Structure 1
Amino acid sequence: MQDAPLKPFRFADATRWVRAGVPVAMVTIVEVKGSAPREAGIRMLVTADDLVGTIGGGHLEWRGMDIAREMIAKGENGEQRRIERIPLGPALGQCCGGVVRLAFEVLTHDDLAWLDAVESAFATGKALARHVPVTGAVRTEASRDLLPSVQLADDSWIDTLVPNDMHIVLFGAGHVGHALVKVLATLPCRVHWVDERDTLFPAGLPENVEAEATDTAEAVVDQAPAGSYFLVMTHSHALDQTLCERIFRRTDFAYFGLIGSKTKRAKFEHRMAEHGIDAARFPEMTCPMGVSGITDKAPAMIAVAIVAQLLQVRDQRAAALAASRREAVHP
């Protein structure tokens, strides 16, 4: 078992290991009945001595790793795919009481076709459906579903894969920015970290973080994809205000936060109104940022409060999307 912090699941890691010839298995929760640690569609990657992602920890995860490593050890002579029913009761040492079905896939070079298709689809913001038989080739096709899902049959499953919905644009490499990146590195998101001063970016950035030193941060606002989460916390109040006004030119962001106090917010709103920003849109800006109830102003504490708020927004958006989809199917 690895000693390093657990990394979030990414298909890119599966592709990298397969191309490098490292035996790896993917474990996916394909069905949940009753209470369980995680939901269907959650997955992890298992090698002989490493783990990426988590299906909930505890005995369920250990059992999943044991089965995956047994399959890896048998190589081509063993099963390449299987579905295992695992009750979460006393026999497993868990008190959830539900039942989980796990799908196991030993990934080989034959899987690179669908792995590459996933990466290509995600790069353009598109969803992909995998038709996975226990025996036989995996088929992929474009999907219009906007939420990840798994449909299980007796000897196959359909796995709808949706690109990650959190693209975070972080302006500012100060103390809070550094603390935020440490937390966000553990989550399934992409972070575009922007500052004028390239010397402030640390060496060895997390895999999901891209740093950009630029004196034209406004252009980064314009180029960010729809549904981005904007976090403004630079070293300059003037630059903060410029970025806020630029973000208000857009109407397609998921979240727009400005670090600071209520006093700073009032001053910014007054100045932006003078610059022609419609005051009716000011509620779209979150300032102060972070969930309420955390009063400690240490950078790490602020970062945790902000990330908690981002996750709340993400879940609210997902719930609204699911409700609209149900309404479209059953008006």
Structure 2
Amino acid sequence: MQDAPLKPFRFADAARMVRAGVPVAMVTIVEVKGSAPREAGIRMLVSADDLVGTIGGGHLEWRGMDIAREMLARGEPRRIERIPLGPALGQCCGGVVQLAFEVLGQADLAWLDAVERNFAAQRALQRQVPASGAVTFCDSRAVLAGVTLEADGSWTDTLVPDTMHVVLFGAGHVGHALVKVLATLPCRVHWVDERDTLFPGGLPDNIEAEASDTPEAVVAQAPGGSYFLVMTHSHALDQTLCEEILKRTDFAYFGLIGSKTKRARFEHRMAEHGIDPARFAEMTCPMGVPGITDKAPAMIAVAIVAQLLQVREQRLAALRAGRTEAVHP
């Protein structure tokens, strides 16, 4: 499909392509009946020679790309397409998928930019997309993300921020391995170390590196719902960061790299510094899903990312159940 690694869908990429004058279509799964490769609300961007995101791969994705490129060639602005996966495409899923196609242009920058602002503030945004004409949007009090398709071909699109904000302290071997994996996922990474020479050049757009003499100050500035990962070159700095993180009560995840012995020592020292021992259960140490014992940096990174994704799934499940703390940590 393309030689470069597939990039995850981001609304910021859609805005960037529109501003650059690249003809691009957004493809959204608006409804799923039965079994399908992906769920409603999943999107991808299609240009003449590029693809950002995926709606599940296989024949469904190829068909979506073909329709999107036909629309770009003809200048067709918007369309809903019903695709039975078995009869039409020969896929074994057997369900039926409704795809919405939108050719994006300058008029869409208003809502695309609004999405970025709202997501940065952990707020939802709701779009009203008519069968033809201008898209309207507003801040949404709705909690559940999803798409509601109407009989006239219009739809309501509720966009809820679910991107992980990862604050990674430490640019050692495991930190580098983590960044390589996180760069491919729907997340933003604030990568912090005292030593600026350790950061590689050409970082992906969703990775921000910061060389800081006071990394503990970054903890207070991080948004609510952040995923904190502590793995610096200094145990003393690790402990300082742990104490600063435990002063907060709004993080999604807090992990400290190390062994059970390191955890016990840190808990003892933090208790001496006045940290309530009842809070220690909120610190994950050792990090990573159980059952992976290999200590190679890449192996550790995969185990940690798998654990972050488990937490993300739990938070999204809470969001789908209508519990607002999943959106406003």
Could you tell me how far 1:270 is from its partner in structure 2? 0.9
Q: Which moved more, 1:183-192 or 1:115-124?
A: 115-124
Give the deviation of 1:16 after TM superposition: 1.2
- 8 Å CA contact retained: 1:198, 1:212: yes
Contact 2:170 2:232 in 1 (8 A): yes
Q: Secondary structure at the match of 2:148?
A: strand
Gaps in structure 1 of 5+ consecutive residues: 327-331
Superposition pairs for residues 199-214 of structure 1, below 5 Å?
199-214=197-212
After superposition, residues 163-202 of structure 1 pair within 5 angstroms as 163-202=161-200
Letter in 2 for 1:198: D
Identify the residue that residue 43 of structure 2 maps to in structure 1.
43
| Match status 1:135 vs 2:143 | no
For each residue in 1:225-257, what CA deviation from the matched residue of structure 2 results, as whole angstroms up to 9, or x when unmatched? 111100000001110001001111111110000
Runs of 5+ consecutive residues of structure 2 not aligned to the other structure: 325-329
Q: Deviations over 1:274-313 (max 9, x none)?
A: 1111111111000000001111111111101000000101
Contact 2:165 2:189 in 1 (8 A): yes
1:252-271 equivalent positions in 2, closer than 5 A? 252-271=250-269
What letter matches 1:293 in structure 2?
A: G
Cα distance, 1:322 vs. partner?
Answer: 2.8
3-state DSSP of counterpart to 2:249? coil
Q: Distance in 1 between matches of 2:4 and 2:142?
A: 35
> Following the alignment from structure 2 to structure 1, what is the Cα–Cα distance between the partners of residues 19 and 174?
37
Q: Tell me how far apart the structure 2 counterparts of residues 219 and 23 of structure 1 sit (CA, whole Å).
A: 42
- 1:190-241 Cα shifts (integer Å, max 9, x gaps): 1000000000000001110101100101110011111110000000111000
Cα distance in 2 for residues equivalent to 1:147 and 1:188: 18
Cα gap change, 1:227 to 1:301, in 2 (>3 Å): same
SS in 2 for 1:95: coil
Equivalent position to 1:299, from 297, 300, 304: 297
Distance 2:89 2:308 in 1: 35
**Matching of residues 232-271 of structure 1 within 5 Å:** 232-271=230-269
1:84 is aligned with what amino acid?
A: E
Task: Give the Cα–Cα distance (whole angstroms) in 1 for the partners of residues 270 and 148 of structure 2.
Answer: 49
2:102 maps to 105
Range moving further from structure 2, 182-191 or 11-20? 11-20
Q: State whether residues 194 and 212 of structure 1, in contact with CA within 8 Å, keep that contact through their aligned partners in structure 2.
A: yes
Where 2:321 maps in the other structure, the secondary structure is: helix
Residues 104-136 of structure 1: per-residue CA shift (max 9 Å, x gap)? 001111222222222222232221101001211
Matched with 2:327 is none
**Correspondence 1:124 to 2:115:** no
Counterpart in 2 of 1:60?
60
Of 264, 272, 283, 2:281 maps to 283
Say if 2:162 and 2:316, in contact at 8 Å, map to a contact too.
Answer: no
Determine what percentage of the aligned residue pairs are the same residue. 83
Alpha-carbon contact 1:165-1:227 (below 8 Å) kept: no
CA distance in 1 between counterparts of 2:323 and 2:275 reads 34
